[in-house]
Amino acid sequence: MTVSEKTNRKDLVTNIDKSNEQFLIEGIRQMDPTAKVLGEEGFGDKLTSLEGRVWIVDPIDGTMNFVKQHDNFAMMIGIYQDGKGQLGFIYDVMNDVLYAGGPAVDGVWANDQQLSAPANLALSEGLIGASAPLVVHDTAHMQKIVHDSAGMRIYGSAGIEMINVLLGKTLGYISYLKPWDIAAGQILLNFLGVRVSTIDGQPLNMLSSNLVLVATEKAQRDILQIEEDDVSL
């Protein structure tokens, strides 16, 4: 395995990221030749809109974990039709569990087990996932949000974070995410009633980076109130 830096020493890419994306995109083009593909490593199309059918691919989500831990990373694909999510796939590689589903198949499954909606917990009732720098720098009142929750957990992979929300192990997740980080998870989470928005409650721009808030309905309400009150610890 070869490892190199993309933007800094904490933003890694490996030859496996690149080969995975090339393999996936080649398969997508054979199966769905008229669709467009957006990929993290740049082997897809240059998109200016989500018109038509668009596949959004993250070949390895959590590359640092992949390199340093050999654990806690995922592969993700989201399929959108005219900007609306239809099918999402998050593959927890080391546990060999595929989380798949969405409106196109009227359900969400973990391998062959159909999932039900996670409990609609308020912020104070559960754990929240977050990106550590947001808390350190108190971006968007993150220290208040963590304080008001039952506690914070950090997994280092958006895919693994969203799996934990799907399973009800955490009630939400907050991080800066690019389209390939959130495309699959948004489809699965929305289908099970979990809210996905920007930190101020607006719809995501799926062609750019967003400060994303994933949360149960009650927790989203609590967090948006913290943002509206504009009060830090």
Task: Count, in order, helices (H) and strands (E) of the chain.
Answer: 7, 14
Q: Is 45 marked as a binding-site residue?
A: no
Cα 94–chain centre separation:
18
Q: Is 106 marked as a binding-site residue?
A: no
d(CA 56, CA 84): 12
The β-bridge relationship of strands 151-153 and 127-130 is: parallel
Q: Is 226 marked as a binding-site residue?
A: no
Q: What angle do CA 79, 84, 88 make, to 5 degrees?
A: 35
The β-bridge relationship of strands 84-92 and 97-102 is: antiparallel
d(CA 142, CA 160): 20
- Give 113's contacts (C-beta < 8 A, 6+ positions apart): none
Q: Nearest-CA neighbor of 72 among 6, 15, 155, 4?
A: 155
Annotated binding site for Mg(2+): 40, 58, 60-61, 181
Annotated binding site: 40, 58, 60-61, 181
